[in-house]
Structure 1
Amino acid sequence: MHTPHTTPRKASHTWPALIAAAGLAAAGLVALAPSAGAQPQQAPSHRLTTARSCSVSTAVDVMACKALKVTSGADSLAPAARSAHPAAIPSGYGPTELRGAYALPDTGGDGATVAIVDAYDNPNAEADLATYRSQYGLPACTTDNGCFRKVGQSGGATLPVPDPGWAEEISLDLDMVSATCPACHILLVEADNSAMTSLGESVNTAVALGAKYVSNSYGGGESGADSSYDSQYFDHPGVAITVSSGDAGYGVEYPAGSQYVTAVGGTSLQQDTSARGWSDTVWGGAGSGCSSYDPKPAWQQDGECAGRTVADVSAVADPATGVAVYDTYGNDRGWEVFGGTSASAPIIASVYALAGQPSEGSYPASFPYAHGGGLNDVASGTNGECAGSYLCTGVAGYDGPTGLGTPDGVAAFAG
Structure 2
Amino acid sequence: MRTTPRNRPATQRGWRRAGTAVAATATLLLTGFGTAVQADAAQTAATAQATWTATPCTTPAHPGELTCDSYRVTGGLTAFQQAQAARTGITPKAADAAAPSGYGPSNLQSAYGLTSAAASKGAGETIAIVDAYDDPNAAADLATYRSYYGLPACTVANGCFKKVSQSGSTTSLPSADSGWAEEISLDLDMASAVCPNCNVLLVEATSATMANLGTAVNRAVTLGAKYVSNSYGGSESSSDTSYDTAYFNHPGVAITVSAGDEGYGAEYPAASKYVTAVGGTALATSSTTRGWTETVWKTSSSEGTGSGCSAYDTKPTWQTDTGCTKRTVSDVAAVADPATGVSVYDSYGITAGWYTFGGTSASSPIIAGVYALAGTPSTGSSPASFPYASAGTSALNDVTSGNNGTCTTSYLCTARSGYDGPTGVGTPAGVSAFTG
- TM-score, with normalisation over the residues of structure 2? 0.82
Could you say what secondary structure the match of 2:306 adopts? Answer: coil
Which digits, 9 at most, give the CA deviation of each residue in 1:220-248, with x for residues without a partner? 11111100000000000000000000011
Counterpart for residue 275 of structure 1: 289
2:147 equivalent among 112, 117, 134: 134
Structural mapping, 1:15-414, within 5 Å: 27-28=44-45, 47=50, 49=52, 51=54, 54-55=57-58, 62-65=65-68, 69-72=72-75, 75-77=78-80, 89-104=99-114, 105=117, 106-157=119-170, 158-284=172-298, 285-372=304-391, 373=393, 374-387=395-408, 389-414=410-435
Offset at residue 64 of structure 1 (A): 3.6
Offset at residue 52 of structure 1 (A): 5.8
Distance of 2:111 and 2:175 partners within structure 1: 37
Assess if the C-alpha contact under 8 Å between 1:317 and 1:341 holds in 2: yes
- Number of aligned positions between the proteins: 381
Compared with structure 1, are the counterparts of its residues 144 and 247 closer, same or farther at alpha carbon in structure 2 (3 Å cutoff)? same
Could you say what secondary structure the match of 1:348 adopts? Answer: helix
Offset at residue 61 of structure 1 (A): 7.2
Could you say what secondary structure the match of 1:380 adopts? Answer: coil
Distance of 2:22 and 2:106 partners within structure 1: 27
Assess if the C-alpha contact under 8 Å between 2:217 and 2:247 holds in 1: yes
Could you say what secondary structure the match of 1:315 adopts? Answer: strand
Which digits, 9 at most, give the CA deviation of each residue in 1:64-111, with x for residues without a partner? 45655444566322799xxxxxx9641100001000000002220001
Compared with structure 1, are the counterparts of its residues 50 and 279 closer, same or farther at alpha carbon in structure 2 (3 Å cutoff)? farther
Distance of 1:236 and 1:160 partners within structure 2: 25
Assess if the C-alpha contact under 8 Å between 1:287 and 1:383 holds in 2: yes
Distance of 2:153 and 2:295 partners within structure 1: 34
Could you say what secondary structure the match of 1:287 adopts? Answer: strand
Which digits, 9 at most, give the CA deviation of each residue in 1:205-224, with x for residues without a partner? 00000000000001111111
Structure 1: tracts of 5 or more residues without a match:
1-5, 8-15, 32-45, 81-86
Assess if the C-alpha contact under 8 Å between 2:50 and 2:73 holds in 1: no
Assess if the C-alpha contact under 8 Å between 2:22 and 2:71 holds in 1: no
Which digits, 9 at most, give the CA deviation of each residue in 1:331-374, with x for residues without a partner? 23311000000000000001000000001101100000011221
Could you say what secondary structure the match of 2:241 adopts? Answer: helix
Structure 2: tracts of 5 or more residues without a match:
1-5, 8-20, 30-42, 85-96, 299-303
More displaced 10-residue stretch of structure 1: 370-379 or 50-59: 50-59
Which digits, 9 at most, give the CA deviation of each residue in 1:265-318, with x for residues without a partner? 000000111100000000011000001111111100111100011000000001
Could you say what secondary structure the match of 1:295 adopts? Answer: coil
Could you say what secondary structure the match of 1:92 adopts? Answer: coil
Compared with structure 1, are the counterparts of its residues 17 and 113 closer, same or farther at alpha carbon in structure 2 (3 Å cutoff)? closer
Assess if the C-alpha contact under 8 Å between 2:44 and 2:79 holds in 1: no
Assess if the C-alpha contact under 8 Å between 1:125 and 1:170 holds in 2: yes
Distance of 1:23 and 1:130 partners within structure 2: 26
Compared with structure 1, are the counterparts of its residues 177 and 74 closer, same or farther at alpha carbon in structure 2 (3 Å cutoff)? farther
Offset at residue 149 of structure 1 (A): 0.2
More displaced 10-residue stretch of structure 1: 49-58 or 221-230: 49-58
Offset at residue 29 of structure 1 (A): 6.0
Offset at residue 53 of structure 1 (A): 6.4
Distance of 2:47 and 2:55 partners within structure 1: 17
Distance of 2:412 and 2:242 partners within structure 1: 26
Offset at residue 54 of structure 1 (A): 3.6
More displaced 10-residue stretch of structure 1: 88-97 or 151-160: 88-97
Distance of 2:53 and 2:129 partners within structure 1: 24
